[in-house]
Structure 1
Amino acid sequence: MTSFTTQMTSTSSPVNVLDEDCGTDYVNLYKFYAAVMIIILILALPLNASVLHLFIFKLKFWKTNTNNIFLFNLVLADILLLICLPIKAYNFIIGERRSTNDTVCKAMLFMLFLNRGASIAFLTVTSIDRYFNVVHPGRKNLLRALKKSPQISIVIWLLLLPLTIPTMLKNFDCCNSHKANSSSVEELVDSMREVVFFSQIVIPFFILVYCTVHIVNRLRKKTVGDRTKLRRAVFLVTSVMVVFSFCFLPCTIARVVLLVSRVELWSKTSQAKAAAAFDGLMVLSYLDCLLDPLIYCFCSTKFKGLYLSTYFPFLLKGDQVMPESSTGNTPQTRSTNNVI
């Protein structure tokens, strides 16, 4: 009778009950993570929204042949990623690593993977474009031809959609990959999911390293031009590499440790610590949404002047305020459209 009651209880339990691997014993630590995400949201969302406004209404990014199209999509992806943070923060506050609602959980996974992947993709494409402009100026390449059309951005978004499919098949946040009792189908899904996670970071990382090293070497060999501008350009490409490494490599390493802890069947305490470290470093990766506009946009003195003259004109001297005519079809507009 007892076994029958137990069986009835287990079969009648809701399907969206929180998996034991998705709970946490470190409630206070996860509340701290939630506070960090809220701070990132408060700082990054207005910044990205204001930059997005400039791209649309001041720079008119779709009319230019510069990196503005890619940077617009980079900022857009960061904004969409930031929108997910309040739900994530709420789950952390109540001691859950993900939502107990299956629909909300899968929607969050879709948004996080798609927009995080888009952010990294457009960051990488922008670096590749800068590589060709600096290292191989004048050489014809496919990217230079494609970036003249805004449709290339749509293609990049569509290519990222299939990469979200493995994350929707099972709950990814709680790292239940490659358990001892997994079936062959589950093992295949787990492997696909991990390939997506690591490829989104590792492949762009090596591309960024290659582009950064060659760009820095090329700029240092230049003997003509303003040395201040050259130093600023070296600082920019180096900063991109440092920020990417700081935001994404730690969570990648933590993911490896967490997978090893599950596969090697470490103690529950060790697995819980590995999970907490991974979640914390994933929170660290969201800083990329705050640092992207600061690096790519505000390293340009012209864009910084446009931003300040639009939102904080009182911080500029009278002769530094950019006139409204700069957004028209004047030579100054063409200069402004290439500020980044």
Structure 2
Amino acid sequence: MAISCCQRFVLFALIFSTTALCQLKQDPSKFIGRSFPLLKTASNNQLNESTKSQLTSSVVMVMIPAIYSIILIIGLPANGMALVVLATKVQRLPSTIFLINLATADLLLILVLPFKISYHLLGNDWLFGEGLCRAMTAFFYGNMYCSILMLTFISIDRYFALVRPFFSKCFRDNRFAVCCCSLIWLIVTASIIPFLTQQQTYLIQDLNVTTCHDVLPRELQSGYFFYYFVCLVVFEFLIPCFVTLFCYVSIIKKLMINNGKYAKAIRAMVLVLIVYLVCFTPSNIILLIHHSEHRLWDSSELYLFYMLCLVLSTFNNCIDPFIYYYISDAFRDKVRSTIFCMAENDGDSGKNKQQLVLTSSS
């Protein structure tokens, strides 16, 4: 039944994207009026003063790229090491397969962060072409919803392993995990088709910059994208969120009843809740409010909030490695041994250097 619903959602997204493209080809005049996401603008790519001040504010040009840089510095080595450890040193279990795919999704986003940082530092001027802009935009939204679905399936896997162990023997194996991950990637790929097919870069004459995803046709925002984001929020955020909460609450109840050690399960649940509340919830709520306002009043004043929420949605790349640590015992042991070996090697090298100094001095 769950697969049937996913297939319906994929078909729904494909039909929507195809319909929108046909309408845009039939009526090019709809591209004349444009607006910033969450801000009202004038026609012919001319911006009003309020939009200019917010688009060129220190929040967008300094603070946001600084936060992205911190995420890049922390997320790249953390997820890189996690992927190497999970792929080469940890026993291949269903939970390991889900964690490998989650780390891969995080790394795909981290690899495009330098382009995003450069874009904001240059005053929201995109220099890398239309194709890379579409890819970066798709990676941002794709990472968020792929992470949500992966975390949901990880919680389901833990639920059956700890709460329904006898029932899970019928289907819980590596092949099932691979099929689930493939289904998630298929759903996410279908979900980001509109970002890959819709023009994302526009030249803004007032500021002499080419924006990436910051200017879209007004009709597209208030019409097609409204229904599109409603579907994303309901099927790829709200429902997975409730499923994840149910699974972790059931796991903790089961462990408490059986007098088991549930401290790690609580830590994992707290981290997942932080990811949902801090990273995913603000972005999805602001997106819905924005497109609702455009649909009802053809305006919105939430541009900076949207940008900040988009930054928050990428913080999961820094939190996910800690989730790996508490969910996978094998991953935790391998990380500890790796860190211990590195510290031991540093200590040995320091002793060797000290002996060399003593020898040379004598």
1:82 aligns with 2:110: yes
2:59 aligns with one of 14, 21, 29: 29
Comparing 189-198 with 253-262, greater Cα deviation is found at 189-198
Counterpart position of 1:14: none
Larger displacement relative to structure 2 (19-28 or 49-58): 19-28
Shift of residue 300, structure 1, vs aligned partner: 5.5
Counterpart Cα distance in 2 of 1:242 and 1:171: 34
Could you state the TM-score of these two structures normalised by the residue count of structure 2?
Answer: 0.68
Match for residue 256 of structure 2? 220
Aligned with 1:208 (options 244, 257, 262): 244
Structure 2 residue 74 is matched with structure 1 residue 43: yes
Contact 1:309 1:316 in 2 (8 A): no
Deviation at 1:33, TM superposition (A): 0.7
Letter in 1 for 2:145: G
Residues 1:242 and 1:91: Cα distance change in structure 2 (over 3 Å): same
The Cα shift of 1:117 comes to: 2.6
Query: Which one of 244, 249, 252 corresponds to residue 284 of structure 2?
Result: 252
How many residues get paired? Answer: 288
**TM-aligned CA distance change 1:97 to 1:193, over 3 Å:** farther
Residue of 205, 210, 214 corresponding to 1:174: 214
Structural mapping, 1:172-321, within 5 Å: 173-174=213-214, 176=216, 179=218, 182=219, 187-188=223-224, 190-196=226-232, 199-223=235-259, 225=260, 229-265=261-297, 271=301, 274-298=302-326, 303-315=331-343
Deviation at 1:54, TM superposition (A): 0.9
SS at match of 2:167: coil
Using the alignment, how far apart are the partners of 1:175 and 1:263 within structure 2?
16
Report the CA distance between 1:35 and its aligned residue: 0.5
CA contact (8 A) 1:308 1:315 kept: no
The structural deviation recorded for 1:250 is 1.4
Counterpart Cα distance in 1 of 2:148 and 2:171 = 17
* Identity score, percent: 26
Give the structure 1 partner of residue 9 of structure 2.
none
Q: Aligned AA for 1:234?
A: I
| Distance of 2:80 and 2:128 partners within structure 1 | 31
Q: What residue identity is the alignment partner of 1:174?
A: D
Q: Give the RMSD, CA atoms, in angstroms.
A: 3.4
Quick one: which amino acid aligns to residue 211 of structure 1? Answer: C
2:46 and 2:313 mapped to 1: Cα distance? 25
Contact 1:212 1:237 in 2 (8 A): yes
Structure 1 unaligned regions, length at least 5:
1-10, 12-16, 318-340
- What SS does the corresponding residue of 1:71 show, helix, strand or coil? helix
Query: How far apart in 2 are the matches of 1:278 and 1:148?
Result: 37
- Tell me how far 1:186 sits from its aligned partner: 8.0
Q: Distance in 2 between matches of 1:235 and 1:188?
A: 40
**Which of structures 1 and 2 has the larger relative contact order (alpha carbons within 8 angstroms, sep 6+)?**
2
Write the letter of the residue equivalent to 1:250. P
- Aligned match of 1:129 in 147, 150, 157? 157
In the alignment, the residues of structure 2 paired with residue 132 and residue 97 of structure 1 have an alpha-carbon distance, to the nearest angstrom, of 49
